[in-house]
Amino acid sequence: MGKKTIAYIDAIREALREEMLRDPKVIVIGEDVGLGQGAFTVTKGLYQEFGKDRVIDTPISEESIIGACVGAAMAGLRPVAEIMFNPFMALVMDPLINHASCYKYVSGGQVKVPMVIRTLVCQGRGAGHDHAPFYASWFMHVPYIRVIVPSTPYDAKGLLKTAIRDDYPCIFYEHIDFYPRKPNLGEIPEEEYTIPLGKADIKKEGSDVTIVAILTGVKTSLSAAKKLEEDGINVEVVDPRTLAPLDKQTILDSVKKTGRLVIVETDFKTAGVGAEIAAIVAEEAMEYLDAPIKRVATADIPISFTNEKYILPNEEAIIKAVKDIC
Amino acid sequence: MHEVTMPKLSLTMETGKIVRWLKKEGDKVEKGEPILEIETEKVTVEVEAPASGILHKILAKEGEDVPIQKTIAIIREPGEEIPEEVAAPPVEAKKPEVVAVTEKPLERIKASPLAKRLAKEYGVDLTKIKGTGPGGRIVKEDVLRAVEEAKAAAVTVTPTPTPVTVEKAKVVPLTSMRKTIGRRMAQSLQTAPQLTITMEVDMSEAVKFREQITSVTEKKLNLRVTYTDIIVKAVAKALKEFPFINSRLEGDQLKLLEEVNVGVATAVEDGLVVPVVKNADKKSLIEVASEIRSLVEKARQGKLSIEDVSGGTFTVTNLGMYGVDVFTPIINPPESAILGVGRIVEKPVVINGQITIRPLTVLSLTFDHRVTDGAQAAVFLQRVKDLLEKPALLFIE
């Protein structure tokens, strides 16, 4: 198989384009996704290629974007919406939670709501309380919503294609740190490929401690692992890639091997992603733990325009957490 | 309401292990009826119901070690109502001060779940390990280190040609019986300077004697008299004549014991027990034989009482049936000597210049050198030999 190098942002566009070419029912909808090319140029060129019927610009009204997606999906389309910043997801809760997530089940399979919501986690840019927070556990809590958190170009393309073909609502998180091309290049196959939902990826093998990390936490954990190596601590980094469904087995197997667990997440700590993972490990692998489970997460404080460097997890915090239990 | 408590069966008993409940909650029990079995360091015994009624609540599970005097079950009268909190397991709360004074509250061992699991797997006692984790927590490494150290210690005692790796060993936790045997034997060897002397005995007469007796006892009493029985009887008679062997050393005093109670080392499935024939010198050979039969049967069934295994003043241990000739038995403390019996085997011997074939055995006497010396011990052994070679002497009081 041939390989090529691609940037994260281009991998996403490639996934969208390939799926639109493959299936005429796939549409892209959102604020400035058409003529505006997307606020961060993710959808650049799609309007020109597929036209205004399949790449739809909307007013600034998140609830109506998602409401339209739910109706379109029920009628047979496969919409891919863009909610420009993750906290705006608060505006789409009713159509998503109370309708889209439930219909296939409660209709006995007669109605399905296949839709993807791409949304951006804009941390570390001083974007403030209503742009920067990363809310993932909100949706992990709701049955039948897919929560996807790709951290590499390979994962982003493979998972987005799978999400578009999936028959349930999928929330697809992108992180602003992944958008600049140069630091976010990765190899992908030339040929078409997809990645199944619910399959974690071990980003680095190790023997002393397991770090389960998501999104930017993966990169930070890998660099922390390199430094910890100098102290003789051999870290395993597990990237779940999707939080719902969650690949419990890979996480449990890793913890059973290392006996220690640190969870690195950039959402708020309380009732966050790590709380669920820690609970699963405590429930199912207690007797393999040689130390308390540690969570490295964003402090439980509203994110302001200036406080991110103090409250977001960083390499130093990860190293400290690992050393605390090793 | 009647409480069933963990009985104190001996002076040194601190805890008892619940082996098996013979009754279930809700069963009717009669006063004096066995309701459970417990195991102490020495034996397994049945505990009887202290009163008649209904077994209302069992408070200690099978396999649990329970301190003496602690309530392990509640028996209620038929129709009696028992408030739930009374029947709830931690009864200690009811008597706070007494407990605080007499029992040191058990300190919680800080160990990681992984360390606990490994300790169980390898049979490591967590109370004996120092934790090196945060806050003194015992972690995986501490348990593995303890396993390594135990392995190293074992290797220095019995060097083996190939290094044994613990990882490949099947780990068998010691039963309380094994621990007791180990502790008592180590104590014996560490405190008593002991040595073994051996003497060959011509068993021709004893063989004939046994055949004659057994031909009668088998028909009349359904009892086969064994060589062990005859040896126990001979030893008992000799002990009466040599009181310094039938003795106990306490500090600077040697107590010459009046009673002659001969223990008979008996192999059981998971170890060794020593039931005791009390006043063996005063009993007839037939009495000794039938008592040994019943004690051995009880031993095999694990039904020996504390009484059955207490009070020994001397021990006989017979390995003849396993083809052993000579060995060095270890004194069963606080006794002063032990007699090992080898197999009876026909050998050519020279008698009056003629080679003849005789059934021979070897007696191995281990004695405490603090109590007596080789010459005196030899005289005692000579006397036992004499009695076995002329069994008719056993009938002279």
Mean pLDDT within B210-222: 90
Once rounded to an integer, what is the mean pLDDT over residues B199-223?
Answer: 92
Q: Write the DSSP assignment of A103-121 as a string of letters.
A: HHHHTTTS-----EEEEEE
What are the angstrom distances between the C-alpha of B24 and each of A294, B35, B68, B77? 45, 9, 22, 16
**For A287, which of B114, B133, B137 is closest by C-beta distance?**
B114
Q: Do A259 and B140 touch (CB under 8 A)?
A: yes
| A223 and A155 in a common domain | no
**Of A139, A169, A189, which residue constitutes the final position of a domain?**
A189
**Strand B262-264 vs strand B314-318: parallel, antiparallel, or unpaired?**
parallel
Q: Do B117 and A324 touch (CB under 8 A)?
A: no
Same domain, A181 and A41: yes
Q: Is the dihedral of CA B123, B125, B128, B131 positive or negative?
A: positive
Q: Which of A88, A128, A133, A175 is nearest to A298 (CA)?
A: A133
Q: Do A290 and B116 touch (CB under 8 A)?
A: no
Residue B185 has pLDDT above 50, yes or no: yes
pLDDT at A179 over 90: yes
Q: Are residues A62 and A173 in the same domain?
A: yes
Give the model's confidence band at B136: pLDDT under 50 very low, under 70 low, under 90 confident, else very high: confident
Q: Do A286 and B115 touch (CB under 8 A)?
A: no
Question: What mean pLDDT is predicted for residues B87-108?
Answer: 45
Q: Do A290 and B140 touch (CB under 8 A)?
A: yes
Cβ–Cβ below 8 Å for A259 and B116: no
DSSP H or E run through B351: strand B345-351
Inter-chain CB proximity A286 and B112 less than 8 Å: no
Query: Could you give the CA distance from residue A76 to residue B268 in angstroms, rounded to a whole number?
Result: 78
Write the CB contacts of B33 (distance below 8 Å, at least 6 apart in sequence).
B48, B49
> Taking the alpha carbons of A121, A124, A128, A129 in that order, is the dihedral positive or negative?
positive
Burial class (CB in 10 A: 0-12, 13-18, 19+), B393: middle
Residues of chain B in contact with residue A259, where contact means CB-CB under 8 angstroms, are: 112, 114, 140
Interatomic CA distance for residues B130 and B136, integer angstroms? 7
Are A170 and A312 contained in the same domain?
no
Nearest CA in chain A to B112: A290
Domain boundary among A134, A167, A189: A189
**Confidence tier at B154 by pLDDT (50, 70, 90):** low
Instruction: Count other Cβ atoms within 10 Å, centred on residue B272.
Output: 16
**pLDDT score of B101:** 38
For the domain that residue A230 is a member of, what is the CATH number? Answer: 3.40.50.920
Q: Does pLDDT of A77 surpass 90?
A: yes
Hey, of A208, A209, A260, A290, which one would you mutate to test binding to chain B, going by the most B CBs within 10 A of its CB?
A: A290
Question: Is the same domain home to A217 and A321?
Answer: yes
| Chain B nearest-CA residue for A288 | B114
DSSP state string for A162-225: HHHH-SS-EEEEEEGGG-SSGGGEEEEESS-----TT--EEEE--SSEEEEE-THHHHHHHHHH
- Check whether residue A59 and residue A182 sit in a common domain: yes
> What angle is formed at CA B204 by the lines to CA B201 and CA B210, rounded to 5 degrees?
110
A45 and A170, same domain (yes or no):
yes
The length of chain B in residues reads 397
In single-letter form, the type of residue at position A270 comes to T
Residue B201 parent element (H or E): strand B194-202
Question: Does residue A10 fall inside a structural domain?
Answer: yes
- Active-site option among B27, B125, B270, B369: B369
Q: How far apart are CA A278 and CA A291, in angstroms?
A: 12
Contact assignment for A291 to B116 by CB distance below 8 Å: no
Q: Which residues of A touch B121 (CB under 8 A)?
A: none
Q: Which residue in B23, B34, B108 sits closest to B62, CA to CA?
A: B23
Judged by CB atoms closer than 8 Å, whether chains meet at B114 and A289 is answered as yes
The rounded mean pLDDT for chain A is 97
Please give the residue range of the domain that contains residue A174: 3-189
Instruction: Point out the catalytic residue in the list B27, B125, B270, B373.
Output: B373
Per-residue pLDDT band for B90 (boundaries 50, 70, 90) equals very low
Which tokens hold the place of A259?
A: 């006996």
Whether the CB of A325 is below 8 Å from some CB of chain B: the reply is: yes
Mean pLDDT computed over every residue of chain B: 86
Distance from CA of A287 to the nearest CA of B (A): 5
**What are B278-290's pLDDT values in tens digits?**
999 999 999 999 9
Chain B hits for A287, CB-CB cut-off 8 Å, are: 113-114, 116-117
Residues of A in contact with B117 (CB under 8 A): 287-288
Chain B nearest-CA distance from A166, in A, is 40
Mutation target to probe the A interface, by most A beta carbons within 10 A, among B110, B112, B144 is: B112
Q: Which residues, at least 6 apart from B114, have a Cβ–Cβ distance to it below 8 Å?
A: A259, A287, A288, A289, A290, B139, B140
pLDDT(B106) > 60 = no
Task: Report chain B residues whose CB lies below 8 A from the CB of A278.
Answer: none
Q: Count chain A–chain B contacts defined by CB atoms under 8 A.
A: 28
The mean pLDDT value for B379-393 works out to 95
Q: What is the mean pLDDT of residues B8-15?
A: 75
Residue from the list B113, B134, B139 with its beta carbon closest to the beta carbon of A287: B113
Place of tokens 């051999």: A234
Regarding whether A299 and A163 lie in a shared domain, the answer is: no
Residue A317 has pLDDT above 50, yes or no: yes
Average pLDDT over residues A32-51: 95
Ordered structural domains, chain B, with CATH: 2-79 (2.40.50.100), 194-395 (3.30.559.10)
Residues A172 and A237 in one domain: no
At B275, list the tokens.
């039931």
* pLDDT at residue B9, as a whole number: 77
Spatial contact of A47 and A29, defined as CB atoms under 8 Å apart: no
Q: What is the pLDDT of residue B110?
A: 87
Per cent of chain B over pLDDT 90 is: 46
Give CA A58 to chain center in angstroms. Answer: 24
- Residue A167 sits in a domain of what CATH number? 3.40.50.970
Cβ atoms B263, B275 nearer than 8 A: yes
Same domain? A137 vs A281: no
CA–CA separation, A79 and B142 (whole Å) = 57
Q: Is there a domain that residue A196 lies in?
A: no
Residue B105: other Cβ atoms inside 10 A: 8
User: What is the rounded average pLDDT of the residues A94-103?
Assistant: 97
CA–CA gap between residue A178 and residue A121 (Å, rounded): 10
Q: Where are the alpha helices (DSSP H) in B88-203?
A: 96-102, 113-122, 140-157, 176-191
Query: Within a domain: residue A292?
Result: yes
The values of phi and psi at residue A293, to 5°, are -75, 140
In a domain, A145, yes or no: yes
Distances in whole angstroms, Cα of residue A91 to Cα of each of A31, A85, A163, A216: 14, 11, 22, 25
Say how far apart CA B207 and CA A32 lie, in whole Å.
113
Give the one of B116, B117, B139 whose C-beta lies nearest to A291's C-beta.
B139
Check whether residue A209 and residue A263 sit in a common domain. Answer: yes
CB pair distance less than 8 Å for A288 and B112: no
- Chain A closest-CA separation from residue B146 CA (Å): 16
Which residues of chain B does A288 touch, with a Cβ-Cβ cutoff of 8 Å?
A: 113-114, 117
ipTM over 0.85: no
Task: Identify the pLDDT of residue B176.
Answer: 77
Instruction: Please answer yes or no on whether A286 and B139 come within 8 Å at the CB atom.
Output: no
pLDDT value for B51: 86
Domain endpoint, select from A169, A189, A209: A189
Considering the domain boundaries, does residue A169 fall inside one? yes
pTM of the full predicted structure?
Answer: 0.56
Total structural domains in chain A?
2
